[in-house]
Amino acid sequence: MIGVLDLQGGVQEHLDHFCALNVPTRTVKLANELNGLVGLIIPGGESTCLMRLLHVFNLFEPILQAHQRGMKIWGTCAGAILLSSSGFKLIDIKIKRNAFGGQLDSFSSEKLIPAVSPTPIPLTFIRAPKIIHVGSDVKVLLRIENYIAAVETSGILATIFHPELTPSLAFHKYFATKCGVSVSDNDGKFAWNRQSWMRH
């Protein structure tokens, strides 16, 4: 089972994507809800607020301990910041926050990421950071011009964009596979509803 940290940010959208892949999921607000998870998503949101809430809900150390036991973690946007040297220090990357500007500078694009999908993947950047340095043990999945947009190690996946805000299932399928979870055969997209968050 894969968990989605449910403190702030795009929770329901991640759940919807995994549902389309028939991957069992649950939200995580309490430390005991980490039990039995093979993977955890730290969604986008506001990184400073998320860090504060992790300590308020006493989740910081339990997440570290679960990762040490083998739980994979995927951080999107603010989640990627929290996995870096600014937070859990679980992946050797340096990040520049709000690197593209403010909310009005958000944008979408499409890129080919061969390790993840044989076809181009839509990418949504919202007040996105930039990965400006990676350590020698970090694999770069996507480099765009003068910055890095997606990286991984054996136990960590970090993306500065929001795959959950597109109809593409490619990254969710990739993370599930990374966690050892089988997924249903799917053509890579589904009828994603932009108002899905309203059900949460």
Q: Dihedral through CA 148, CA 63, CA 51, CA 193, nearest 10?
A: 70
Strand (E) or helix (H) holding 55: helix 47-56
Instruction: Count Cβ atoms within 10 A of the Cβ of residue 85 and give its class: 0-12 exposed, 13-18 middle, 19 or more buried.
Output: middle
Q: Which two tokens stand for residue 97?
A: 């926050």
Given 13, 17, 67, 77, the catalytic residue: 77
| Catalytic pick among 17, 164, 172, 179 | 164
Does 200 participate in catalysis according to the annotation?
A: no
Q: Is 110 a catalytic residue?
A: no
Tell the residue number behind the tokens 């003068």, with chain if given.
146
Contacts of 182 (CB under 8 A, 6+ apart): 176
The CA angle 89-159-129, to the nearest 5 degrees, is 80
Residue 164 known to be catalytic: yes
Which of the residues are catalytic?
77, 162, 164
